[in-house]
Structure 1
């Protein structure tokens, strides 16, 4: 740490604080912070290891993630939040296979609703939809392209950070997880842990 300039040390402090408050650092939004973190990834990784946090640099997708292995630092999701994230992750996985790595998948509200119908899940209320979209925006998982998020043709851009939330593996695992909610109805209360802190 002594080898780096004071200015760069100050910049790294900004990057680490940003990661603690956002969990994700996407090249798409924060190019300078991202490049600084990649340049100094060994230093940042060692620092975070001291306090027990994981530092994941996914250069392939332009995404940096920090995560606590301790559950008390992870967000406990409600059932509807977990289902929403699983559905987004499923759509992301289905679409990204046909895109280049640098491209982000797009979806529509109608497509999201269609996934809920496929799994015989009741779609969320308009109020809850706004909350879920806001949660996705705050955590850099998605961006609404159109203004009215309640319209079926509203488009959403899905970011590569989706890979690192509710890490589930392949599509079959995602299908099974979502299916378990439709079969369990309201009796399954979620205590899902996610990398969102």
Structure 2
């Protein structure tokens, strides 16, 4: 039983277990190598290591409420999925397009990756690619950019290398968790969705897709 194993934890470990479980439910992904703004580099995420040490305990605990925990050692990603396909986050069209573009950029840069572990881009490159592919005609409103990037950051898909995501030179690190959100099979599907007509009064509110972003209601 998971509870017997839980009771063997120290008081500090029990507190950390509760906090980390809630992080999983709210963020969907826990990344092994996370960007540290203070040190300006990737660092080993202590939450990832804690889950790694108590992986089966987390699995048994979360399975009680319909969640499955998967760990990919190659990419350093721990992902949470609801086996009943409930509690999915709905992304509006703008966020879906940005997610699609980030996935394309990740794939392009991953092929050229050498000694650096992280894959980075910037806001200008993302917006430029959206325009070049004919997905938009001009730079989106600042509010749309802020909302979209904030959503993706909250789910541990990206992180900021600067503070203002409305500026073209603000850097963005793309985490490997994006591979679990937009698989190769989904790229075509999302591209077609992004090109679909959209009503003018639903630019910021229409929920157009349900990605593998599990979000606690």
Q: TM-score range by the shorter chain?
A: 0.7 to 0.9
Aligned structure 1 segments of 4 or more residues deviating by more than 6 angstroms? none
- 2:173 corresponding residue in structure 1: 157
In structure 1, distance between residues paired with 2:111 and 2:47: 28
**CA spacing shift, 1:120–1:100, aligned 2, 3 Å:** same
Q: How far apart in 1 are the matches of 2:126 and 2:163?
A: 17
Gaps of 5+ in 1: none
Contact 1:76 1:194 in 2 (8 A): no
- Deviation, 1:119, is 2.3
Further displaced range: 104-113 or 135-144? 135-144
Higher percent of residues as helix: 1
TM-score by length of 2: 0.76
1:144 equivalent in structure 2:
160
Contact 1:143/1:158 (8 A) holds in 2: yes
Within 1, Cα distance between the matches of 2:213 and 2:191? 22
Work out whether 1:5 is the aligned partner of 2:9: yes
Matched, 1:62 2:76: yes
Gaps of 5+ in 2: 35-43, 200-205
Seen in structure 2, the aligned counterparts of structure 1 residues 54 and 100 have a Cα distance that, compared at 3 Å, is farther
Match of 2:117 among 80, 103, 126: 103
What is the CA-CA distance between 1:178 and the residue it aligns to?
A: 4.5
Which structure 2 residues correspond to residues 44-123 of structure 1 after superposition, within 5 A?
44-99=58-113, 103-122=117-136, 123=139
Q: In structure 2, do the counterparts of structure 1 residues 102 and 19 end up closer, same or farther at CA, with 3 Å as the change threshold? A: farther
Counterpart secondary structure, 1:153: coil
Instruction: Give the structure-1-normalised TM-score.
Output: 0.83
Of the three residues 162, 175, 184, the one matched with 1:169 is 184
How far 1:182 moved relative to its partner?
5.5
What is residue 26 of structure 1 aligned with on the other side?
Answer: 31
Q: Secondary structure at the match of 1:82?
A: helix
Q: Cα–Cα, structure 1 residues 119 and 177, in superposed 2: closer, same or farther, change >3 Å?
A: farther
**In the comparison of the two structures, how many residue pairs are matched?**
193
* In 2, Cα distance between equivalents of 1:178 and 1:52: 27
Q: Which moved more, 1:55-64 or 1:182-191?
A: 182-191
Name the CA distance, whole Å, in 1 between partners of 2:153 and 2:207: 25
State the alpha-carbon separation in 2 of the partners of residues 179 and 63 from structure 1: 25
Matched, 1:193 2:211: yes
Q: Aligned pair in 2 of structure 1 residues 181, 155: CA closer, same or farther (>3 Å)?
A: same
